């Protein structure tokens, strides 16, 4: 089959089979391209969609980007189930197999170091949200009673007094949120091999309810992941008004190093 080579990840040789019926970007099943003691996971993609000029145009097409990212992630997830992959950035493309092998050879030392560091480890994501419109989680033992409405101010002085009380309540909420998020991150970092703090998510972009006050990734050994998950679960009801979300296990995107491979 002709076309460009799309590279999903680099890993060590492995014996386990990838899941059946796995398709990659543009519908082409991934295959292994070995070079020395490294393996690139690749598939064929049409030049009409993945040339440099075509990719620039596709950056404006949200539907195309979403479909491509989903197919890319499916392959990386399948690899994560059987080995430790070093995922490359979305749309890492080369002219042919020779171009992929040149990339592996040029980056061999860096790939080896990173794979050694990631070996046997996965990434877990933890986010903490402040739920400003409710203080009890859904599914609590009993529903929260509705808060009584604030009395209508009868004077400017009453209005200012109510605003001060509201301001103090908000300050207390954010103070508790900061303390909780900082403490949780410290605790989880102590059980992980490495940790990364990402910028809080914009709720208008993420669609998540509440205000994101912790957005962190943790590099955890596979054999310690069950304990790590249990530790996160134990914190979920610690502070009213906070919501803790756990995602994973993922390939170690946050710990793979910036731009681990460049297309040509």
pLDDT digits 0-9 by tens, 66-110: 999 999 999 999 999 999 999 999 999 999 999 999 999 999 999
* DSSP conformation letters of 126-178: EEEEE-TT-SS-TT-SSPPPPPPPPPPPSSHHHHHHHHHHHHHHHHHHHHHHH
* Domain residue limits, the chain: 4-119, 121-253
Burial class (CB in 10 A: 0-12, 13-18, 19+), 107: middle
Q: Quick one: pLDDT at residue 115?
A: 95
Q: Quick one: pLDDT at residue 69?
A: 94
Q: Quick one: pLDDT at residue 154?
A: 52
Q: Quick one: pLDDT at residue 263?
A: 47
Mean pLDDT by 10 residues, the chain (264 residues): 88 86 91 94 94 89 93 95 93 95 95 94 95 46 45 58 60 79 94 94 74 94 96 82 91 76 45
Give residue-wise pLDDT tens across range 107-130: 999 999 999 999 999 999 999 998
Q: Quick one: pLDDT at residue 147?
A: 47
């Amino acid at each position: 089959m002709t076309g460009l080579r799309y590279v999903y990840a680099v890993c060590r040789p492995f014996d386990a089979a990838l899941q059946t019926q796995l398709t990659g970007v543009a519908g082409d099943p991934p295959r292994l391209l070995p070079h020395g003691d490294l393996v690139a996971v690749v598939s064929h993609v049409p030049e009409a969609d993945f040339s440099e000029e075509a990719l620039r145009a596709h950056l404006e097409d949200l539907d195309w980007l979403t479909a491509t990212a989903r197919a890319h992630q499916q392959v990386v997830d399948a690899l994560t189930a059987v080995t430790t992959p070093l995922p490359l950035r979305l749309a890492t493309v080369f002219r042919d197999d020779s171009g992929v092998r040149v990339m592996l050879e040029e980056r061999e030392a860096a790939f080896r170091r990173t794979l050694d560091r990631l070996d046997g480890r996965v990434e877990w994501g933890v986010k903490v949200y402040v739920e400003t419109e409710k203080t009890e989680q859904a599914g609590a033992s009993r529903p929260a009673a509705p808060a009584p409405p604030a009395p209508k101010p009868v004077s400017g002085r009453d209005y200012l007094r109510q605003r001060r009380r509201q301001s103090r309540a908000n300050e207390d909420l954010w103070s508790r949120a900061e303390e909780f998020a900082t403490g949780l991150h410290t605790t989880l970092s102590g059980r992980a091999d490495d940790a990364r703090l990402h910028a809080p998510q914009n709720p208008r972009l993420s669609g998540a309810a509440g205000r994101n006050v912790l957005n962190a990734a943790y590099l955890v050994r596979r054999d310690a992941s069950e304990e790590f998950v249990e530790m996160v679960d134990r914190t979920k009801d610690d502070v009213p008004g906070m919501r803790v979300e756990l995602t994973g296990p993922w390939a170690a995107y946050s710990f793979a190093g910036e731009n681990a491979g460049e297309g040509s």
